[in-house]
């Protein structure tokens, strides 16, 4: 079953590069393209869309507000944010608006293709540049990993990352998927998803 994707960016050159990337995946279909948030909202009610790749800095209405309005009329659509830089406040704002992930434009590659297929609100996915930024914040403020708690389910919204969460986060940055992380750490794949959800919540709290 094809995943129908809408590309929203006012830069036609970038849209063309993104289209070329997506067309490498035979299971992805370009359902629509838009150069503004208003244009997307006009076509959304009558166009079959599963995922939107959403630029943040759009003319007239930014990608954050566009995401909020889109999900009011199409709550089934998954939105992945795109921006030129990995500013934490943009990542936080997009997640609060309902996005399921965020990538810098320079990081839009195979990991973005994977996110289009698998990212959800409960299991958001991020580009390496964004994950790398948050790793620096998390490790610097968490302290030595060996002394951190290692309970993935306890106190999931607390600020410090547990030792295992730091390990998982580093492997995510390296581009490993959940199955590969589970194999690397010799843990159950379902626990990797638990760790990833907890990491996303904790790192979101760090940007507030």
Q: 153 phi and psi, to 5 degrees?
A: -105, -20
Together in a domain, 118 and 135? no
Go through the chain and tell me how many residues it has: 208
Element (H, E) at 104: strand 101-104
| CB crowding 112-135: b at 16 or more within 10 Å, else e | bbebbeebeeeebbbbbbbbbbbb
* Interval 109-146: pLDDT, tens: 888 999 999 998 888 888 877 754 444 444 343 443 33
Q: What's 31's domain CATH number?
A: 3.40.50.2300
Domain with 57 in it: 3-126
Number of domains in the chain: 2
Together in a domain, 94 and 144? no
Nearest CA to 208 out of 56, 86, 89, 101 is that of 89
- Is the pLDDT at 52 greater than 80? The verdict is yes
The model's pTM is 0.66
């Amino acid at each position: 079953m094809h995943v129908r994707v809408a590309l929203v960016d006012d830069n036609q050159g970038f849209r063309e590069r993104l289209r070329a990337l997506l067309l490498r995946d035979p299971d992805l279909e370009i359902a629509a393209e838009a150069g503004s948030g208003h244009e997307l909202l006009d076509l959304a009610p009558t166009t079959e869309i599963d995922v939107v790749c959403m630029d943040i800095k759009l003319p007239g209405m930014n990608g954050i507000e566009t995401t909020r309005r889109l999900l009011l009329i199409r709550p089934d659509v998954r939105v992945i944010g795109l921006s030129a830089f990995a500013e934490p406040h943009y990542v936080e704002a997009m997640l609060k608006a309902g996005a399921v992930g965020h990538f810098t434009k320079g990081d839009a590659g195979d990991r973005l293709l994977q996110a289009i297929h698998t990212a959800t609100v409960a299991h958001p996915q991020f580009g390496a540049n964004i994950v790398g930024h948050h790793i620096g914040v998390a490790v610097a403020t968490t302290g030595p990993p060996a002394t951190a708690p290692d309970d993935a389910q306890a106190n999931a919204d607390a600020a410090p990352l547990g030792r295992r969460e730091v390990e998982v986060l580093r492997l995510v940055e390296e581009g490993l998927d959940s199955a590969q992380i589970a194999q690397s750490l010799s843990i159950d794949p379902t626990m990797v998803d638990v760790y990833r959800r907890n990491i996303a919540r904790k790192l979101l709290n760090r940007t507030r």
